[in-house]
Amino acid sequence: MNNIFLSSKLGKDILPDEVTALFQNSNSWEQKQRAVFHMSRQLVKLPEKYKSDDYLIEGCEANVWLAFQIIGGKIYFLADSDSRIVKGLLGVLLTAVNGVSPQKFSDFELNVYLSQLGLDNYLSASRTSGLGIIEKEIINIFEGLRLK
Amino acid sequence: MTDISQLRNNFPALQTLDSKQQIYLDSAATTQTPQSVIDALNNFYASPHANVHRSGHLLGTQTTNQFEAVRKQTAEFIKAPNDSAIVWTKGTTEAINLIVHSWAESNLKKGDGILLSELEHHANLLPWQKLADQKGIVIHWLPIDELGLIDLQQAELLLTPEIKCISLSHASNVTGVINPVQKLFQKARKLGITTLLDGSQTVAHIPIDVSTLNCDFFMFSSHKMYGPKGIGVLYVNPQYFSKMQPWLLGGEMVKKVGYGHAEFQPMPLLLEAGTPNFAGVIGFGAALKYLNSIDRKALMEYESALHDFLMQQLLQFKDIRILGNNRDNSWSDKVPLISFSFSKHQSFDVSALLNEQNIFIRSGYHCAMPMMKKLALSGTIRVSLGLYNNKKDITIMINKLKNTLSLLS
């Protein structure tokens, strides 16, 4: 298995239920924050060639790079950010969408999943705190491919 | 004498913040509003009023008189030589755009130079860049050093014959450093160079005198000095009245209109087409009254002591980089704000975690992207103070900052 896009544990070894449990068992904001950092460590290191403007998501305060490949009808993502918080949020997001086919993807389910985590401050559609923008970008990717 | 520490009680918003244990340290972006300004706005809307400069009936005259009285108050506040030099805008950004359209477009020609500093806010960059693109005007840059400081002595050497205009911020919204422009502007004016000063970061903190500052245009926003949002002031040196062209065209800026030609009103109405935000003007009058009721010297001392305290507290962090300080961390005159970053942490992460702990500060580029790029910074964290902040706010912020850094490492 040489393709780096297939090497991510997210959505494969780490599943949404686990992440939901991790966040729901975090009672204080510090614990929640540590859970975010834990998720940041689950991302595969993004190869340098993807850290270019072509993969940069515009509109986030911290740099966010998102790349994907379609393999066997499913979409596989790699992502990185220079912010640890955003990286952790990327880990949370990709757990729900990595290796999912455009036909199976449901933005409703993604929303349900995210709303259970208690990350509302980050999820707010704020211009600067990125998750809303990243979520939208991912939804666009799935929807664009479904239309093809 | 005013007890500055009691002024916090004049702000209902501060009481709400206190009851939620939230701390607002972002007054350089916008300030909270004192009760007297809220009351003035309330009274205005609750009382009969008419449009200004239009209706000849009693109510029209009364409202116009109220409106013009604030123009007079504003002229006095910045020591403008006459009331007609005060033009209402919706804020600093609009005022700079207005100058570019009303003055620069018709008074500058291809090849002329404009001098800007590398630390300018986007509001003092983008209108000029557009004009430069359209008219072949050349922008010259006053460089900043790696500490984020402009060398104003160096600047005098840049006043070459092709420079026709110099436009600077009075204090940087990123570093807080007050640029002592008097001498530079005096020299510029002697050379026939037009001088523009963006006072949005200074008006709330230091007394302003447009004549000693030697500026031809000066602008600021009410919402950064405890006044209502959406109203601002442009000062135009009376010697420039005849050079101003109308920008927006419409009601009340004309004397006579025919099908095909029009004769315009003199300043300041020339630049105030359409119904102005006169409720905002009345509220702004209350903000001026509020600031005038405070012993400004005592206020400056209070803010400067608070600023010192904040600086000392921040300097205890080892890997902190403070913008606008000298190499030995001494610092010149500043408005009470400090921008900083940590070598090991993203500013975004630090401010996001502070936000989680109810500390409201701003991180990012502060609308000065070219400056951040030059200083190789991917954003800074900015703490900015208002007259209602106190040592306790800072102490709490510092404790939460310690939590944040330990969580991040």
pLDDT in tens, B38-82: 999 999 999 999 999 888 899 999 999 999 999 999 999 999 999
B294, B205 contact by CB (below 8 A) = no
Rg, Å, chain B Cα set = 22
Task: Output the domain CATH number for residue B324.
Answer: 3.90.1150.10
Cβ–Cβ below 8 Å for B364 and A129: no
Range of the domain at A137: 4-147
For B322-364, what is each residue's pLDDT tens digit? 988 877 777 778 999 999 999 999 998 999 899 889 999 998 8
A60, A133 contact by CB (below 8 A) = yes
Assess whether B150 and B279 both reside in one domain.
yes
Query: Does B292 have pLDDT greater than 90?
Result: yes
pLDDT band at B116 (very low <50, low <70, confident <90, very high): very high
Task: Determine the pLDDT at residue A126.
Answer: 47
d(CA B15, CA B119): 35
Assess whether B79 and B166 both reside in one domain.
yes
Cβ–Cβ below 8 Å for A29 and B408: no
Which one of B292, B323, B349 terminates a domain?
A: B292
Query: Does B367 have pLDDT greater than 60?
Result: yes
Q: For B369, which residue in chain A has the nearest alpha carbon?
A: A61
Residues paired with residue B195 on neighbouring β-strands, in sequence order: B166
Task: Output the domain CATH number for residue A133.
Answer: 3.90.1010.10
- Please report residues of B whose CB lies closer than 8 A to that of A118: none
Assess whether B316 and B275 both reside in one domain.
no
Assess whether B271 and B339 both reside in one domain.
no
A62: nearest CB among B346, B356, B357: B346
Q: Looking at CA atoms only, how far is residue B401 from chain A in angstroms?
A: 13
Averaged pLDDT for residues B4-22? 97
The arrangement of strands across the sheet holding B380-384 comes to: B320-322, B337-342, B380-384, B362-364
* A83–chain B Cβ distance below 8 A for any pair: yes
Task: Output the domain CATH number for residue B140.
Answer: 3.40.640.10
pTM of the model: 0.91
- Cβ under 8 Å to B: A residues 15-34: 29-30, 33-34
Task: Determine the pLDDT at residue A120.
Answer: 67
Question: What's the distance, CA B216 to chain centroid?
Answer: 16
In 3D, which of B220, B285, B209 has the Cα closest to residue B30? B220
Which one of B268, B292, B316 terminates a domain?
A: B292
Query: Does A127 have pLDDT greater than 60?
Result: no
Task: Determine the pLDDT at residue A135.
Answer: 84
Task: Determine the pLDDT at residue A95.
Answer: 96
Say how many domains are in chain A: 1
Quickly count: other Cβ atoms within 10 Å of residue B247's Cβ: 18
DSSP state of A55: G
SS3 call for A75: strand
d(CA B324, CA B314): 14
Q: How many CB pairs under 8 A join A and B?
A: 37
Which backbone phi and psi does B408 adopt, to 5 degrees?
-80, -20
pLDDT band at A128 (very low <50, low <70, confident <90, very high): very low
Range of the domain at B135: 38-292
Confirm whether B408 is domain-assigned: no
From B150, B269, B367, B383, the catalytic residue: B367
Cβ–Cβ below 8 Å for A29 and B356: yes
Which one of B292, B311, B340 terminates a domain?
A: B292
Give catalytic status of residue B367 as yes or no. yes
Choose the most confident range, by mean pLDDT, from A1-15, B184-198, B353-367: B184-198
Query: Does A125 have pLDDT greater than 50?
Result: no
pLDDT band at A122 (very low <50, low <70, confident <90, very high): low
In 3D, which of B162, B92, B105, B98 has the Cα closest to residue B133? B105
B222, B287 contact by CB (below 8 A) = yes
